[in-house]
Structure 1
Amino acid sequence: MKKTFSGRPFPPAARRQARGLLAAALIGVGTLSAAAAELGADVQGLLDHARTQNPELALMRAEAEAAARRVEPAAALPDPLLRVELMNVNNYGNDAGFNLLPNKVGETRYTLMQMLPWWGKRDLRRDIATADVRQAQARTAAAWTELSMRIQAAYARYYLAAGNERLTREILDLMKRVEQIAQARYAGGLVVQQDAIRAQLEQTTMRAELIMLESEKRQQRARLNALLARAADAPLAEPLALRPLPPPGALDAGALAERVRAANPQLMAEDARLASAEKSRELTRRNRYPDFSVGLQPTQMGSRITSWGVMLEVNIPLQQGTRRAQEAEAEAMVAAARARSQNLVNQLVGELGETVAMLDAARQSEALASNQTLPQSDLSLRSAIAAYENGRLDFTALLEAQRQIRKARQEQLKAQADARVRLAEIERIVGEPL
């Protein structure tokens, strides 16, 4: 059975002070300056910074550029060869002695040769190099979507830590005022001293929680700075707001699965790998046919060119066992690339379904907390303050009302952060913003 208190009316000044508790207990992160544009105030600024400053992205872009530079050489003819043969350098049969000058030996033969691959091989090498470029570019895009997801997730957790810290400070301020009310009521003989002591214990507990929350906030700040390629202790602005969620209609799992197949950079990289493997298989099959070398041979005697000759070389593809092994390897590489692509599709679609479900749950939790739990907790706190002020409620019930509204606000913050983490994961899977 709850104990109630009765006695003379509460003093007017203290009554006004009690009403002030309502303002301190009102839920909200608080109004922050909209003019704050420092790095960290919003997630888009962090993404813009990372896009230009992250060394991993710079590495991937450089690799893609290097791959693009390999396309032209892949289809180019090899450099021609020039051979110079000095015949009869000891000048046998005439009065001249040993000599290495072309016009002072018995005969000098020049051979200019150019290797010509079988028809279609150069085009296949170009196609392979082009597929490698697409693969490198897709890997760069995949690296960006992964980095973007990690930044957005870290920012959501940074926002959660900062929000919990602000909320705890607000409730701590509330408990300080509750302690003052309890002290005033105790001085008037209306309540026992234990009320004030319990208010002090509640404040001590909150100060201990603040230490942990400040530590969590520093950890998230260090994690964000690492993703931005900045020093761990580099300053970041307080997070102002989370990005808005897309409408529920934009999160249809079936439509998103189609977008995954069309736009996911990991799948695009696997498609390019498959195309490269198929072209490599075709090139391996073309190795059944010979390559050619053609040449021109002028012959010099003294200071005159006395004769001309032409030459043709053909390599003979006799090593059938080697070629069959190479063709079997190329066929296996195509099958592996195709299976890897299909496995990745199944994995991504499965992850997408799970993440969409988790986002929907987080959205519903936030709506429940905002529309029901918070208004109910706020009404409960208002009633508890009024009842405690008039001596109709004990201190335990007031503490419970305070804890309920704090818990509701924490649940709301957590649901908001979870929803943004899931949204970032969905965008990573889809490969583009929603």
Structure 2
Amino acid sequence: MNRTLRILPLVLAALLPPAPAAAGDPPGSAPIATNAQELALGKTVESLLDYAKARNPEYIAMQMEAEAVQERVYPVGALPDPVLRIELENVTNYGSNAGPNILPGRVGDTKYTLMQALPFWGKRDLRREAAESAAEAAQGAAGTTWTEQAARIKTSFAQYFADVRLIRLTREVIDLIDRIERITQARYANGLVPQQDAIRVQVERTAMRNELIELEMEQHHMQSRLNALLSRPSHSFLAEPERLRPLPAMASLDHLALEDRLREKNPQLFADDARIRTAEKNRDLAYKNRYPDLTVGVIPIQTRNQVNELGLMLELSIPLQQESRRSQEREAEKMLDAVRARREATANQLLADLSENLAALDAARRMEQLAQTSLLPQAELTFQAALAGYENGKIDFATLLDAQRQIRKARQDIIKTQAEQQARLADIERLIGEEL
């Protein structure tokens, strides 16, 4: 009875949920944060997303490229610059006593031709519309970049959260094993258990310390990955995560509704639709090239110091190279077919990914529920029975260790399935292009 009372605190320690870890910087982080924002950075995934959206270099680069492409719209639809031509006739002053000259008032005649090229009707509009669609495609590419970066941040944060919780759990298990070792040593000294029990508990503690080292290394890697996504030095401070995002209700995860949202909101499909419109405008422009472009001009003619004549000019390009134009038209048609096929392939892949992630999210949710409601309580009861049997000499120490491992595995499974659900949720939000 006395021995049972001594071991009772160990049973309670094994069954109670993990206690919060002491405050302090995670391994590998910088020792000091400089302001309130950095002190809070890392506690929630929302703080990381807000920070990254203003600083992630890849997203900023794509935004700048989209803005650069937008600046092409006006020049493409504008008229070309006018051309001024000056022609000096009889610069030798043949037939007069004056010598050669190149001044307009001292030659025979000077023609000033001011010309303006005018593309055939509709060509400027098609070029402008094609440029606008290209700008929309660039904006869609920037949106795709952000959704991908946000998904990486969410997934890395979930793993970071899991690593911190697993480290806490492992340290608690090591403390429990240390207490069990003291009891085993006392029982061995009294001849109640063989020496093998004392050796096995030491082996178990060493294995747990090795696992702790691996987890701390994984936590450091997650910190470095998150800092890279935030465009910060890899050793910068990150606070320990406090909570995961709440999961949406199952009613909001209707497969058909999410497919509709994907088709409407996904930035990749948005960019592909814009590329299709660009290809359609380029095709129409290729057919418009069958018609000639115009150039009109005004020709004032100066004789000595007076402008006493005025001429008009009209210039037409002659589209004689018909085979060349037919090739350009076929090229534009094929490019349009290719963009449409690529859009269909992208949509099919995105829908398949959505289905896969929805199934994985549901499986992870059910696995967590099973571990919470069945596996963990069963493991706790098994440990209680094993502890009582070990105290009474009815079971060996290996059975007690196995029971303790079952509790640890059940808790690890709960933490890992929570992280898996967050990763799947991040992928679903990446696919539909918005938060759930």
Fold shared, TM-score > 0.5 on shorter chain: yes
Residues 1:325 and 2:314 aligned together: no
- 1:385 maps to 387
Pairing 1:205-220 to 2, within 5 Å after superposition: 205-220=207-222
Pairing 1:349-360 to 2, within 5 Å after superposition: 349-360=351-362
Q: 1:212 to 1:32 in 2, by over 3 A?
A: closer
Q: Please, which runs of 5 or more residues in structure 1 have no aligned partner?
A: 1-8
Cα distance in 2, alignment partners of residues 250 and 181 from structure 1:
52
Q: Structure 1, residues 363-387: CA drift from partner, whole Å, max 9, x if none?
A: 1001111111112222322333344
Residues 1:153 and 2:155 aligned together: yes
Moved more, 69-78 or 221-230: 221-230
Cα distance in 2, alignment partners of residues 71 and 391 from structure 1:
85
- The Cα of 1:33 is off from its aligned counterpart by 8.4
Report if the CA contact (8 A) 1:149-1:428 is conserved.
yes
Residues 1:25 and 2:27 aligned together: no
For residue 85 of structure 1, give the secondary structure of its aligned residue in structure 2: strand
- The Cα of 1:98 is off from its aligned counterpart by 1.5
Q: When the two structures are aligned, how many residues end up with a matched partner?
A: 423
- The Cα of 1:29 is off from its aligned counterpart by 4.4
- 1:286 maps to 288
Cα distance in 2, alignment partners of residues 288 and 258 from structure 1:
41
Residues 1:10 and 2:2 aligned together: yes
Residues 1:63 and 2:96 aligned together: no
Cα distance in 2, alignment partners of residues 407 and 186 from structure 1:
28
- The Cα of 1:329 is off from its aligned counterpart by 0.5
- 1:5 maps to none
Report if the CA contact (8 A) 2:10-2:179 is conserved.
yes
Q: Structure 1, residues 21-76: CA drift from partner, whole Å, max 9, x if none?
A: 13432354433689995322221111112111111111100011011111111110
TM-score (structure 1 length as normaliser) = 0.93
- The Cα of 1:393 is off from its aligned counterpart by 4.2
- 2:32 maps to none
- 1:72 maps to 74
Cα distance in 1, alignment partners of residues 378 and 39 from structure 2:
36
For residue 149 of structure 1, give the secondary structure of its aligned residue in structure 2: helix
Cα distance in 2, alignment partners of residues 254 and 33 from structure 1:
46
Report if the CA contact (8 A) 1:355-1:426 is conserved.
yes
Moved more, 19-28 or 419-428: 19-28
- 1:129 maps to 131
- 1:104 maps to 106
What percent identity do the matched residue pairs reach? 52
Q: Structure 1, residues 259-283: CA drift from partner, whole Å, max 9, x if none?
A: 1111110001100000000011011
Q: 1:252 to 1:324 in 2, by over 3 A?
A: same
- 1:38 maps to 40
TM-score (structure 2 length as normaliser) = 0.93
Cα distance in 1, alignment partners of residues 135 and 117 from structure 2:
27
Cα distance in 2, alignment partners of residues 146 and 31 from structure 1:
32
- The Cα of 1:102 is off from its aligned counterpart by 1.0
Residues 1:431 and 2:433 aligned together: yes
- The Cα of 1:190 is off from its aligned counterpart by 3.2
Amino acid at match of 1:242: L
Moved more, 183-192 or 49-58: 183-192
- The Cα of 1:228 is off from its aligned counterpart by 1.8
For residue 126 of structure 1, give the secondary structure of its aligned residue in structure 2: helix
Of 410, 419, 426, which aligns to 1:417? 419
Of 251, 256, 260, which aligns to 2:258? 256
For residue 60 of structure 1, give the secondary structure of its aligned residue in structure 2: helix
- 2:143 maps to 141
- 2:27 maps to none
Q: 1:323 to 1:225 in 2, by over 3 A?
A: same
Report if the CA contact (8 A) 2:21-2:168 is conserved.
no
- The Cα of 1:391 is off from its aligned counterpart by 4.7
Amino acid at match of 1:151: I
Q: 1:26 to 1:238 in 2, by over 3 A?
A: farther
For residue 234 of structure 1, give the secondary structure of its aligned residue in structure 2: coil
- 2:370 maps to 368
Q: Structure 1, residues 355-408: CA drift from partner, whole Å, max 9, x if none?
A: 111111011001111111112222322333344445554322221111000010
Pairing 1:159-170 to 2, within 5 Å after superposition: 159-170=161-172
Moved more, 206-215 or 134-143: 206-215
- The Cα of 1:223 is off from its aligned counterpart by 1.8
Moved more, 178-187 or 355-364: 178-187
Report if the CA contact (8 A) 2:39-2:238 is conserved.
no
Report if the CA contact (8 A) 2:181-2:198 is conserved.
yes
Report if the CA contact (8 A) 1:378-1:405 is conserved.
yes
Amino acid at match of 2:2: F
Cα distance in 1, alignment partners of residues 16 and 48 from structure 2:
28
Cα distance in 2, alignment partners of residues 33 and 98 from structure 1:
98
Cα distance in 2, alignment partners of residues 111 and 432 from structure 1:
58
Cα distance in 2, alignment partners of residues 31 and 156 from structure 1:
18
- 1:4 maps to none
Cα distance in 2, alignment partners of residues 393 and 265 from structure 1:
61
Moved more, 292-301 or 18-27: 18-27
Q: Structure 1, residues 225-264: CA drift from partner, whole Å, max 9, x if none?
A: 2222222222322222221111111112111111111111
- 1:6 maps to none
Amino acid at match of 1:143: T
Moved more, 45-54 or 358-367: 45-54
Of 82, 85, 108, which aligns to 2:84? 82
- The Cα of 1:160 is off from its aligned counterpart by 2.1
Moved more, 49-58 or 226-235: 226-235
RMSD (CA atoms): 1.9
Cα distance in 2, alignment partners of residues 163 and 94 from structure 1:
104
- The Cα of 1:96 is off from its aligned counterpart by 1.4
Amino acid at match of 2:13: A
Report if the CA contact (8 A) 2:18-2:172 is conserved.
no
Moved more, 160-169 or 274-283: 160-169
Amino acid at match of 2:387: I
Report if the CA contact (8 A) 1:85-1:110 is conserved.
yes
Of 245, 248, 266, which aligns to 2:247? 245
